[in-house]
């Protein structure tokens, strides 16, 4: 089999379904989003102490607040460079500025709608207009997801190591961290071993799809299982792995950009603590961010609103941060990292539509 990208992507897959929506539905979701954010903010501040929390906000250091905003620009720039690196594997050159707009617009859509499909559709629409097949697009997305997952694992291990080596870590039970890290390494080894046995992967994917269909199908009142699509998804995944082998340097760049993206958020959380006058250890901020992100991702809520803030505050308090400081830093971090990019994302989406790029 040839290693050329044009031959690895053997067939096109059906385009991903568009997300049906109307302007009324968009407005409804935005209202729900605002209510969830307002409700979680009120509950957390009441729990930590309204006067103490808002006093921290009023006295926030503007320099560190500006640093939080800067880290978010770095975050989106890193996401753009990662996507550019992967698209170069399939011999496609994309200008930075429109791709940056697509990345921000897709993130804004993901934070507004449940499941992440809205952002995926925006990215797909952009690349389809540039002549990329949907099968190649799925391969590109898969490579990026795998690189991002590897970056999450690396940052988690780094944060755990830094905390264990610090004074805070000495007060914690090292056996708990050891069990978590050991379990993660075992899971990684089993995942690699499983990927080498494609027949088992296909069988497992089929069983999982049928199990999900039994639950979701009852709610949707129709059969959502399609064996052909399940096999097609597995084919796309293995084509992506074959494609990645043709340009390991590009994959490494994507991995590095994923580290920068995640690191930017962790640094933003660190700056949030510094903004309200609390000198937290960098390793603690990194560990709080990685664990909180992993837990909050399981919540079926747009942008993990309410869940992310709560987990950030609880994790911070567990590591010895005073509760008002933990809540204040979490809310400040989310205000700039989550809420601030959304209007920019919708403005970029409008601009891209006017230029017929999506």
**Terminal alpha carbon distance of the chain:** 35
In the block, which residue shows the tokens 């808002």? 54
Read off the pLDDT of residues 17-59 as tens digits, 9 standing for 90 and up: 444 444 555 556 555 555 655 566 556 665 555 667 677 777 8
pLDDT score of 6 more than 70: no
The pLDDT of residue 261: 92
CA-CA distances (angstroms) from residue 97 to 76, 102, 173, 345, 348?
Answer: 11, 9, 47, 13, 10
Tally Cβ neighbours within 10 Å of residue 324.
Answer: 22
Question: Coil, strand, or helix at residue 251?
Answer: helix
Please state, in angstroms and rounded to a whole number, the distance separating the CA atoms of residues 286 and 98: 31
Q: What residues contact residue 85 under an 8 Å CB cut-off, 6+ apart?
A: 250, 251, 253, 254, 257
Residue 102 in contact with residue 126, Cβ under 8 Å? Answer: yes
Alpha helices by DSSP H, listed for the chain, are 5-8, 23-48, 50-58, 62-89, 96-112, 117-129, 134-165, 167-170, 174-195, 198-220, 227-245, 248-275, 282-296, 307-318, 323-334, 341-354
Tally Cβ neighbours within 10 Å of residue 211.
Answer: 11
No. of H helices and E strands in the chain? 16, 0
Mean pLDDT computed over 152-172? 67
pLDDT score of 12 more than 50: no
Residue 40 in contact with residue 311, Cβ under 8 Å? Answer: no
Q: What residues contact residue 227 under an 8 Å CB cut-off, 6+ apart?
A: 206
Structure-block tokens of residue 322:
């005073």
Read off the pLDDT of residues 62-90 as tens digits, 9 standing for 90 and up: 999 999 999 999 999 999 999 999 998 88
**How confident is residue 255, by pLDDT bands cut at 50, 70 and 90?**
very high
- Provide the residue ranges of all domains of the chain, joining segments of one domain with +: 20-302+314-354
The pLDDT of residue 10: 41
Read off the pLDDT of residues 225-250 as tens digits, 9 standing for 90 and up: 788 877 877 787 787 777 778 888 89
Read off the pLDDT of residues 200-215 as tens digits, 9 standing for 90 and up: 888 888 887 787 777 6
Please state, in angstroms and rounded to a whole number, the distance separating the CA atoms of residues 41 and 33: 12
CA nearest neighbour of 105 among 89, 130, 124, 128: 124
């Amino acid at each position: 089999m040839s290693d050329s990208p044009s031959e690895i992507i053997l067939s096109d897959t059906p385009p991903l379904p568009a997300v049906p929506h109307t302007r009324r539905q968009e407005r409804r979701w935005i209202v729900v989003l605002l209510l969830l954010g307002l409700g979680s903010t009120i509950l957390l501040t009441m729990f930590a102490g309204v006067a103490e929390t808002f006093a921290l906000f009023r006295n926030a250091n503007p320099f560190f607040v500006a640093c939080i905003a800067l880290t978010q620009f770095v975050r989106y720039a890193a996401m753009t460079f990662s996507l550019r690196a992967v698209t170069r594997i399939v011999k496609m050159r994309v200008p930075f500025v429109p791709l940056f707009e697509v990345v921000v617009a897709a993130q804004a859509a993901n934070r507004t709608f449940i499941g992440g499909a809205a952002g995926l559709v925006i990215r797909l629409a952009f690349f389809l207009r540039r002549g990329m097949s949907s099968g190649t697009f799925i391969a590109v997305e898969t490579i990026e997801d795998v690189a991002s997952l590897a970056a999450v694992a690396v940052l988690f291990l780094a944060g755990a190591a830094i905390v264990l080596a610090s004074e805070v870590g000495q007060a914690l039970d090292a056996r708990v961290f050891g069990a978590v890290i050991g379990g993660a390494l075992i899971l990684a080894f089993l995942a690699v071993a499983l990927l080498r046995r494609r027949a088992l992967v296909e069988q497992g994917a089929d069983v999982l799809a049928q199990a999900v269909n039994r639950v979701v199908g009852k709610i949707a009142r129709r059969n959502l299982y399609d064996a052909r699509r399940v096999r097609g998804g597995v084919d796309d995944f293995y084509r992506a792995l074959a494609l990645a082998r043709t340009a390991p340097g590009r994959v490494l760049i994507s991995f590095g950009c994923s580290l920068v993206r995640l690191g930017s958020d962790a640094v933003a959380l660190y700056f949030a603590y510094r903004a309200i006058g609390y000198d937290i250890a960098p390793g603690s901020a990194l560990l709080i961010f990685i664990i909180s992100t992993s837990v909050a991702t399981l919540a079926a809520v747009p942008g993990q609103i309410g869940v992310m803030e709560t987990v950030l505050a609880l994790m911070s308090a567990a590591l010895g941060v005073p509760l008002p400081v933990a809540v204040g830093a979490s809310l400040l971090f989310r205000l700039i990292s989550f809420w601030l990019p959304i209007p920019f994302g919708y403005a970029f989406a409008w601009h891209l539509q006017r230029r017929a790029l999506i």
